[in-house]
């Protein structure tokens, strides 16, 4: 327990900054989760029977995630 308290007291500023960054990113993470979920449901519903279409949809999903991460 003492080691944990020492770590927190020695790195308190870094811990607080990480928490603030995490809180700032929460809305963006929620948006990313919604994008992924919507795209995955679309892939399952529309393209499940045709492997080539599924591969294209996965590529689109990958590009969407990449663009979103670039914006962050």
Place of tokens 């990449």: 66
User: pLDDT tens, 8-34?
Assistant: 778 777 878 888 888 787 787 778 777
Q: Give phi and psi for 11, each to the nearest 5.
A: -120, 25
Higher-pLDDT residue of 38 and 51 is 38
What pLDDT was estimated at residue 48? Answer: 60
What whole-number percentage of the chain has pLDDT above 90?
A: 0
Helices (H), the chain: 2-10, 12-47, 51-71
Residue spans per domain, the chain: 25-72
pTM of the model: 0.36
- Cα(first)–Cα(last) distance of the chain, in Å? 36
What pLDDT was estimated at residue 68? Answer: 77
- 50 pLDDT more than 70: no
pLDDT, mean of residues 54-71: 78
Q: Residue 32 and residue 20: Cα distance in Å, rounded?
A: 19
């Amino acid at each position: 327990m003492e080691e944990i308290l020492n770590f927190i007291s020695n790195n308190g500023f870094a811990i607080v900054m990480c928490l603030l960054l995490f809180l700032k990113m929460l809305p963006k993470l929620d948006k990313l989760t919604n994008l992924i979920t919507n795209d995955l449901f679309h892939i399952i519903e529309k393209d499940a029977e045709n492997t080539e279409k599924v591969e294209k949809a996965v590529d689109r999903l990958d590009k969407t995630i990449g663009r979103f991460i670039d914006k962050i």
